[in-house]
Amino acid sequence: MSMRVTVRGAGIIGLSVAEELLRRGHLVRVVDPAPARGASFAAAGMLSPAAEVWHGEHDVLRLGLASLALWPDLAQRLDVPLVDTGTLLVGVDAGDLQQVRRQADLLARHGVQVEEWSRRQVVEREPSLDRVAGGVWVPGEGSVNPREVCAALLERVRVEPEEPTDWRADVTVIATGSVLPEPHRHLVRGVRGEILRLRTDDPPSRTVRGWVSGEPVYLVPRRPEAAGPAEVVVGATSEEHDGLPVVTAGGVLRLLAAARVVWPALDRAELVETTARDRPGTLDGLPLIGPTERSGEWLAAGHYRHGVLLAPLTARLIAEAMDDPRSAVDAAVDPRRFTSRQPGGIHAPHAQR
Ligand code: GLY
């Protein structure tokens, strides 16, 4: 049965949900006064479920791998490039390398295939990373440019600045990132991320996630459109804070300092943009996807570090639950896990890193 759906929020999550619902024949209106200018505008676009995961994040990994598998079809449908050269975890000193190996062990325990590379193997494959002590390659991962993805979605989905007065929706999906309306506001908090965009003739050929004397940093190269400099995105700070997400001098300094140790060619790169946005963090680090306890009100929010990666899965989960009201959404992401008073309802989980 075709539903009338309002999607509030035109970031990569809201747009992906809207596009999937439109494809399935629902009537959809998307409302956002500034489409694709929130967290999606800052995001590097890593499709790195394994390289971004840590202890205790089993569900994040499970959902991320499921969504990664949906990305090739989505990228093809939207006609946007997808870089699929994997993620390279690297360490600069012995302690950093130990951190990389711990993550490799964790991934191996989860059945994720990884390959350990010596320093020599790293430099053979990525000559610009000549100061690292060694690494671990995670094949199958990649990246997209979220700005291109949002632009392609905006060609398919019309966005209006305000809720139309002549429209009554059966369901409203709230996808407003880190600022949710009441009564859901407390479920998501802003975690500031600052990120840099550079142009270079000497980019790495794959996503690099490095540890530099304990400081994490990542580099995400874009495929160059033609001969000439390529964009490399360097990220990202992570800070709990109140107030507007602004770029700080200290944040830029930390990112540049860590990135140039991993990738010395940074010194010659052109710094073209600094951006800060809030990531939408939840209490348990998992998103909120599906119906709430308020009739006709659904959430697709709280994706924290994984909004771009989880966009196609989120769209699918929402669309499947809408198409078949008897189907339950994945319990790990059910927004009612924080509010359910049902016996056996999901209890308030502990906070994660
Ligand atoms: N997924 C990368 C970040 O949130 O910085």
In the chain, the amino acid numbered 55 is H
Confidence of residue 32 (pLDDT cuts 50, 70, 90): very high
Strand 4-8 vs strand 171-174: parallel, antiparallel, or unpaired? parallel
Atom of ligand 1 nearest to the CA of 46: 1
Which residue has its alpha carbon closest to ligand 1 atom 2? 305
Quick count: other Cβ atoms within 10 Å of Cβ 104?
Answer: 20
Tell me: pLDDT of 224 over 80.
no
Distance 192 CA to ligand 1 centre (A): 10
Distance 220 CA to ligand 1 centre (A): 11
Mean of per-residue pLDDT scores for the chain = 93
Mean pLDDT of 67-86: 97
- Of 69, 30, 353, nearest to 163 by C-alpha is 30
- Residues whose CB is less than 8 angstroms from the CB of residue 320 and which lie 6 or more positions away in sequence, other chains included: 327
- Pick from 12, 41, 46 the residue to mutate for probing ligand 1's pocket: most ligand atoms within 8 Å of its CB: 46
**pLDDT, tens only, 320-353:** 999 998 888 899 999 999 986 544 444 433 333 3
Mean pLDDT of 199-222: 96
Atom of ligand 1 nearest to the CA of 304: 4
**pLDDT, tens only, 251-306:** 999 999 999 999 999 999 999 999 999 999 999 999 999 999 999 999 999 999 99
- Of 327, 291, 284, nearest to 306 by C-alpha is 284
Atom of ligand 1 nearest to the CA of 52: 1
Task: Decide: 193 in ligand 1 pocket, CB within 6 A.
Answer: yes
Distance 305 CA to ligand 1 centre (A): 4
- The phi-psi region of residue 7 (left if phi > 0; otherwise alpha if psi is between -120 and 50; otherwise beta) is beta
For residue 241, what pLDDT is reported?
A: 84
Distance 2 CA to ligand 1 centre (A): 36
Confidence of residue 66 (pLDDT cuts 50, 70, 90): very high
Distance 306 CA to ligand 1 centre (A): 7
Burial zone of 317 (CB within 10 Å; 0-12 exposed, 13-18 middle, 19+ buried): buried
